[in-house]
Amino acid sequence: MFTRLRVVVGLYSAMFLFSVSAYGQATKPAAPEVAALADPAANALQSYLVAQRAGDLPAIRKIIHLSAADKKEYSEAVLSFQLWSRYFERKAIEKFGKEQGLSIQGHARSYDDQHTLDMKRVRDANVQYNADRSAATIYLRVELNRPENLQIDRFEFLDVYQAIKVGEVWKLDFLKTYKCVDPEQEDTYKSELAAFPRMAKVCSDLSDQIKHGTIKTADELKGIFDDKWSHVYDDPIRHVLKPGDTMPADAKEVKDPKDAKSDPK
């Protein structure tokens, strides 16, 4: 199993690098200026929310802190999927309207509507600092009439964020916010590292197909997207190399996942 995961990670290391870099090239984002908040931890969260909405990767990287250096590739994989998923949602809404566009990924509210709400909630956040004021938990007030099933995973539509003081600068504690530091969940993180870059590319490819009119209905789009998700964990190795592409060096020894032997560890 673990050998197979390493092969998957190797195959998609190049893909997640594509996903992250291609996002900036495709969208050319820039985070707008906003008035700073008096509370330093809340202000760091506000900066993060603004950079996320703009898809401004340099700004996002500047405002986040990784408590585990070996999770850098993982954090980039999470970011790539977050940003491409939002871009894909916008394109789906533009093409098919809000109700049908949201149905593609099963969201009860759009990312952009959530951002507008979060920018209001962060101004009234309840920020609780630890004893030496080196870390903080930021609680956003739950809004009235929240849709059911809004929070379907641990990466979006959050009410609680973690911040940390690095030197004299407050930053978002990325791994702690998204609950990515549990040693007992390492297998989950490895699976996500394999899955998120692939699904980021799916979102990118489907956005292009929407743009070029090759997908005609929301039902067709949802069917394709759901099919991709249904195979992303149980059969993740479906990487077709294009002419000129090369497989990552650490994956060359295994030509077919069926031939991979289980890791004795």
Per-domain residue ranges for the chain? 2-244
pTM, rounded to two decimals: 0.80
pLDDT, tens only, 183-217: 999 999 999 999 999 999 999 999 999 999 999 99
R_g of the chain computed on alpha carbons: 19
Residue 222, both tokens: 């949802």
By mean pLDDT, which of 102-106, 108-112, 163-167, 251-255 is the weakest?
Answer: 251-255
Write out the H or E segment, with its range, that includes residue 74: helix 72-96
pLDDT at 45: 98
Residue with the bigger pLDDT between 33 and 194: it is 194
* Separation of alpha carbons 184 and 142, rounded Å: 30
By mean pLDDT, which of 30-44, 189-203, 230-244, 251-265 is the weakest?
Answer: 251-265
Phi, psi of 138 (to 5 degrees): -110, 115
Rounded to 5 degrees, what angle do the CA atoms 27, 171, 163 make? 120
Residue with tokens 């692939």: 198
pLDDT, tens only, 55-67: 999 999 999 999 9
How many other β-carbons are positioned within 10 Å of the β-carbon of residue 90?
A: 17
The sheet with strand 135-139 has its strands ordered as 64-65, 169-173, 160-166, 135-139, 126-129
pLDDT at 184: 95
Identity of residue 49: L
